[in-house]
């Protein structure tokens, strides 16, 4: 049997990542599948990158990029005009704190991947939905079914929505491990991930040490969704000492409230701002953001 951890959407929360890695020290796995959004929106992204490098050294990892990495790479190629502001100040801060080596590492990550290993079912890995890095299965009816219908494999692992779930329709299954660093669970202070164990189907030939002629696509995953605590109060203190909140302003305050409550104030604040102004997000005055912050008690 092969036992793997599945993680997504760390969003720079190095304390949640530390808690996850401590869990793995006590409950070892054979590898880690990482579905993107490793940094942005949190203080000291260099600490998260250091932990990711250490994780890769200590355990086999399959990693793909998320939309946050896409934003950073696009900015590297052509400046997106980020600056200290509620709209993009957190991205600006993150870009300042990543090294050239970090950016080169993110550039090498594929957008999608098909995971294939003896004794495990072939599995499609993406950040959002197949072919759409920002695809969100929680937006609209039938989105999960369409995502599953877009692939040949029986299993689809994706992130981005920060919604931890296992969804099965017919012979196909979608797994979202939730968000390791910014969980939307209505609780707060928790790091979400999943554990999957490859189960070889009878007659596939993959039992007994992976005999010749075995086929991984005939296997199944046994899945478990987990949620563990971490030092959220200590992490919140970093927002001020790091200078992130000074750069990211209202959206950083929204992230902090999300961390504590498990309610998506990040997304709610953007929706409220867009209701107040027809301008593109980056052009909306700070006064509008402040109005929304008071309304949402950020």
* Helix, strand, coil content of the chain in percent (nearest 5): 40, 20, 40
pLDDT digits (tens, 9 = 90+) for 12-39: 999 999 999 999 999 999 999 999 999 9
> 75-82 contacts: CB < 8 A, separation 24 or more?
76/103, 81/282
Write out the E strands in the chain.
Answer: 2-7, 31-34, 61-63, 113-115, 123-125, 155-157, 165-169, 172-176, 190-199, 220-229
**Residues in the chain with pLDDT values less than 50:** 204-216
The residue length of the chain stands at 298
The pLDDT value given to residue 202: 58
Is 155 buried (19+), middle (13-18) or exposed (0-12) by CB count in 10 A?
A: buried
Exposure string over 244-271, b if 16+ CB within 10 A, otherwise e? bbebbbbbbbbbbbbbeebbbbbebbbe
Of 7, 64, 65, 50, which is closest to residue 31 (Cα–Cα)? 7
The pLDDT value given to residue 215: 36
Query: Cβ atoms within 10 A of the Cβ of 37, count?
Result: 29
């Amino acid at each position: 049997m092969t036992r793997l951890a599945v993680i997504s959407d760390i969003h720079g929360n190095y304390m949640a990542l530390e808690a996850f890695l401590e869990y793995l020290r006590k409950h070892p796995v054979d590898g880690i599948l990482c579905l993107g959004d490793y940094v942005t929106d949190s203080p000291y992204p260099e600490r998260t990158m250091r932990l990711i490098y250490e994780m890769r050294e200590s355990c086999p990892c399959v990693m793909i990029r998320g939309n946050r990495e896409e934003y950073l790479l696009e900015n590297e190629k052509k400046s997106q005009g980020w600056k200290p502001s509620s709209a993009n100040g957190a991205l600006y801060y993150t870009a300042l704190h990543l090294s050239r080596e970090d950016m080169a590492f993110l550039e090498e990550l594929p957008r999608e991947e098909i995971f294939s290993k003896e004794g495990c079912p072939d599995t499609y890995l993406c950040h959002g939905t197949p072919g759409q890095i920002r695809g969100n299965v929680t937006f609209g009816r039938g989105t999960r079914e369409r995502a599953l219908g877009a692939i040949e494999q029986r299993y689809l692992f994706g992130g981005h929505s920060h919604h931890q779930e296992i969804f099965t329709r017919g012979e196909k299954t979608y797994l979202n491990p939730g968000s390791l660093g910014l969980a939307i669970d209505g609780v707060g202070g928790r790091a979400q991930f999943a554990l999957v164990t490859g189960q070889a189907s009878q007659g596939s030939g993959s039992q007994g040490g992976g005999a010749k002629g075995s086929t991984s696509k005939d296997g199944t995953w046994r899945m478990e969704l987990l949620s563990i605590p971490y030092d959220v109060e200590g992490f919140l203190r970093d927002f001020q000492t790091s200078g992130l909140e000074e750069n990211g302003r209202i959206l950083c305050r929204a992230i902090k409230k999300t961390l504590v409550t498990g309610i998506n104030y990040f997304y709610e604040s953007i929706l409220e701002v867009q209701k107040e102004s027809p301008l593109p997000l980056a052009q909306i005055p700070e006064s509008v953001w402040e109005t929304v912050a008071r309304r949402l008690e950020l």
